[in-house]
A and B are shown apart, each in its own frame.
Chain A
Amino acid sequence: MTAVREVVAPTWFGDRRRRTLAWVGLSALVVLGVVVAGGPAADAAQTTSLTDRNLGPSAAHWFGTDRLGRDMLARTLAGLRLSLVVGVAAAVVSAGIALTLACLAAVFGGVVDRAVGWLVDLFLALPHLVLLILLAFALGGGTGAVVAAVALTHWPTLTRVLRGRAREVMSSDYVAISRQLGHGRGWIARRHLAGHLAGHFVVGTVLLFPHAILHEAALSFLGLGVDPGEPSIGILLAESMRYLTAGAWWLAVLPGLCLLVVVKLVDTIGSNARALLDPRSHHL
């Protein structure tokens, strides 16, 4: 292929890459908006008004009110903010564990590699939710325990992806040649491995995040998550259960839908970022 290069000015029309980028940006903006809006909503979320109990959605209360007359929109926003914060913390810690293990396995190989592989298989073989519940229980509940429990159970899949990629890099001809030029393990990890893993790492972290949010909600729903006083989405859903039969559908449906939308948006960011980060991707 001839190496003639000419930079073409991209047009907005018919440019899939630009549209993807715009879509990612919009998703990120909405997610960020939820986090920002959740801050001021925290007060309103805890304000009780016994005259406005169990109202359906209306102009004054878009998402209705609960049994204590608290505005559900405010509670949902505050809950999403809490979920997002827990999700980010858990995803980042989890991805950190994955990266460390994958690099150790690839750089040292042999026994270390086998040990990491064994550990990944072990964690993948155990039922996810049971492990999560046991960990959260053992760590004593509360927000910190949820972050720790989610972080400690979500690293295996990403570790597996990163380890595969790292192995591929380490067995390549260019790493063999760098070794032959007298460079040590640290140099190869820094100069070769880091660059090749960065893209996978970023995307993997973003994609871990929706998982982490959903599992946080699940734990809170089961009563092992964040402090019941805090309005996390899981707690909102758990509370709403008792009132569903009384016809208060808005208590469960609207916060649940919001969680779904946020998770979907984050997922969009993650999967599109993968295509954007690859410099030679053909189709985007």
Chain B
Amino acid sequence: MLQADGVWFRHGRDRPWVLAGVDLAVGAGEVIGLCGPSGGGKSTLGRVLAGHLRPDRGRVTVDDAAPRPRRAAHPVQLVLQQPERAMDPRWTVRQVLAATGADDAAIAALDQRLVVPSRLDRFPHEISGGELQRVNLARALLARPRYLVADEISASLDAVTQARIWTLLLEHCREAAIGVLAISHDRPLLETVAGSVVDWTPSPVGETPA
């Protein structure tokens, strides 16, 4: 169970609270959709769950323990909307994938629908958005996470590419019993891919922790 327990977060002392007492739970192998308008703090929650940001109050637990990823991949991996920002522009796709600690054999053994072998030695700006997003997903899967946070991963893709990447994601996560939190503004999409959809309400302005 990936669990957020009364999480509060703000980007600095004098800034408003972005997350105000958020509770959320994603079970192993479960797909939960988080639906809400953009700019409402959904992405911040994703980053807190994945350990990019530390909550100011409350806690995030993975299988009832606080994750301590010293020198090991975090059990919650994050796939972001813009894959080109999530990869060092100076690295080839192969280097990006190898940064997970995967060896050449593991990279070669990847699902070819995720990463086309002929693209391995290209730079991120040389391949299309859909392909790049699949590389992004492949990297997250190579880190062998227990949970995956997919933050608007198909927001800038066309419908065919969107359907393709979600089909792949769901297939791989089901196989490895990875729990998924799907974040999007697109309700029809979430209703299609997720077992249940949670509505996100942005935290009211001026709220403070008790």
Contact = CB atoms under 8 A, between A and B. Distances in A.
Contacts of B128: 2-3
- Majority secondary structure, A binding face: helix
A174 B88 contact: yes
B78 interface: yes
A20 interface: no
Interface stretch (A71-79, A147-155, A180-188, A243-251): A180-188
A47 to B, nearest CB: 54
Contacts of B12: none
Given A174-B88, A195-B90, A181 B71 contact: no
A173 interface: yes
B2 to A, nearest CB: 14
Nearest to A198: B90
A194 B99 CA distance: 16
Contacts of B90: 195-196
Nearest to B71: A182
B74 interface: yes
Interface residues of B, number: 29
Interface residues of A, number: 20
Contacts of A3: 122, 126-128
Given A2-B128, A172-B85, A192-B88, A183 B99 contact: yes
A117 to B, nearest CB: 17
B86 A173 contact: yes
A65 B66 CA distance: 81
Given A2-B128, A3-B126, A5-B126, A181 B88 contact: no
A180 B74 contact: yes
Nearest to A187: B99
Given A3-B127, A177-B86, 4 more contacts: A3-B122, A173-B80, A191-B88, A195-B88
Interface of A: 2-3, 5, 172-174, 176-184, 191-192, 195-196, 280
